[in-house]
Amino acid sequence: MKATVFLGGGRITSALVAGLRLAKYKPPLVVYDRHPEKLRRLKREFNVSTEHDLARAVSQACLLIVAVRPQDVANLLDDTANCDWAAGPRLVVSLAAGIPLQKLRSKGSSAARWGRAMPSPVCRIARGLTAVTFEENVAMRQRKQVRDFFGHLGSVLEIPEAHFDAFTATFSPSHGYHALATLARSAQAAGLDRKAALTAAAHAIAGGIFYWQESGQTLDELLREAATPGGTAAATMAAMNRAGYERVVAKGLWTGIKQARINARR
Ligand SMILES: NC(=O)c1ccc[n+]([C@@H]2O[C@H](COP(=O)([O-])OP(=O)(O)OC[C@H]3O[C@@H](n4cnc5c(N)ncnc54)[C@H](OP(=O)(O)O)[C@@H]3O)[C@@H](O)[C@H]2O)c1
């Protein structure tokens, strides 16, 4: 039986196989990496098959997932030139941030059809979000195969490739951790102890967003409900906006988008 094969057994592969196991995903999973100790750990923790030989890994794949850092993708794909693609995958999905389909297509087999996916590390608990995009020549059933695969790990969003870098810079859970850490630090500076500061900040961010998702109310309605004119929340938000809150967030996003493009050119 053909497998889903991961080329690269690092952080995101570990999160994906953990989430797949949690979701009781049964079809075979194979991981290839140049570090035997990483393969041993993945095998031990998640009962995946492991492969030290690239050609053997590629030949087992019905879905091949490229999960190495962007600057390593070109070398890895060069190494696959001697693999038996005819017996192997027709469908290849790259997770590499910033590397466009056109560049991926210029490497690897001409028989392969390419897609890109951008999964969140929250896939580890099967509550993630994954953006996917495909070359035009990828058949509907192949797109469905990829959407269904990532669907085991949370929500899936198919978006145009032109939006991929902006999505990548926006969807990262690091925003949540960063906002939590920043708000909690300010709360500590205002006098709360660390535990109370983190508890209050986590409720503000996660509790508020959970309520937005569950209540069916619009963001405008919730903002009106939470920020009574003349009250504490309204004054806090207005001061943050005057200090350049939106400008700072936009600057961060653009820097992230540029970094994705720089990494892809390396
Ligand atoms: N981490 C995330 O949350 C996340 C989320 C979405 C997408 N992504 C994308 O996923 C990709 C992987 O990210 P990651 O964080 O999982 O990276 P990582 O932890 O560095 O894992 C990549 C693994 O692949 C190995 N590798 C690289 N080139 C290889 C080769 N030619 N042959 C065999 N093994 C090779 C690396 O070994 P060495 O350490 O020796 O190089 C490393 O063990 C990136 O392109 C990233 O943009 C990551």
Tens place of pLDDT for every residue, the chain, 266 residues?
689 999 999 999 999 999 999 999 999 999 999 999 999 999 999 999 999 999 999 999 999 999 999 999 999 999 998 887 777 668 999 999 999 999 999 887 788 899 999 999 999 999 999 999 999 999 999 999 999 999 999 999 999 999 999 999 999 999 999 999 999 999 999 999 999 999 999 999 999 999 999 999 999 999 999 999 999 999 999 999 999 999 999 999 999 999 988 988 87
Alpha helices in 23-115 (DSSP H): 36-46, 54-59, 70-79, 101-105
Residue among 6, 65, 69, 133 whose CB has most ligand 1 atoms within 8 A, to mutate: 69
- Complete DSSP assignment for 188-204: HHTT--HHHHHHHHHII
If one counts every other C-beta atom within 10 angstroms of the C-beta of residue 123, the result is: 24
For residue 203, the model assigns a pLDDT of: 98
DSSP tally for the chain: helices H, then strands E: 13, 8
Q: Do the beta carbons of residue 16 and residue 119 sit within 8 Å? A: yes
Residues β-bridged to residue 51: 32
- Secondary element (H or E) of residue 83: none
Residue among 5, 7, 11 whose CB has most ligand 1 atoms within 8 A, to mutate: 11
pLDDT digits (tens, 9 = 90+) for 23-39: 999 999 999 999 999 99
Helix 70-79 / helix 245-265 crossing angle, nearest 10 deg = 20
Q: Which domains does the chain have, with CATH numbers?
A: 3-165 (3.40.50.720), 174-265 (1.10.3730.10)
Q: Do the beta carbons of residue 166 and residue 190 sit within 8 Å? A: no
Enter the DSSP assignment of 205: I
Token pair listed for 253: 């996003």
70 CB within 6 A, ligand 1: yes
- How many angstroms is it from 10 CA to the middle of ligand 1? 5
What is the distance in angstroms between the CA of the first residue and the CA of the last residue of the chain? 37
- Cα gap 98→111, rounded to integer Å: 23
- Cα gap 11→136, rounded to integer Å: 30
Q: Is 64 helix (H, G, I), strand (E, B) or coil?
A: strand
- How many angstroms is it from 201 CA to the middle of ligand 1? 32
- Cα gap 5→29, rounded to integer Å: 6
pTM for the whole thing? 0.94
Alpha helices in 61-161 (DSSP H): 70-79, 101-105, 140-151
Burial 36-56 (b: 16+ CB within 10 A, else e): eebbeebeeebebbbbeebee
- Cα gap 10→98, rounded to integer Å: 18
For residue 110, the model assigns a pLDDT of: 81
- Cα gap 130→67, rounded to integer Å: 14
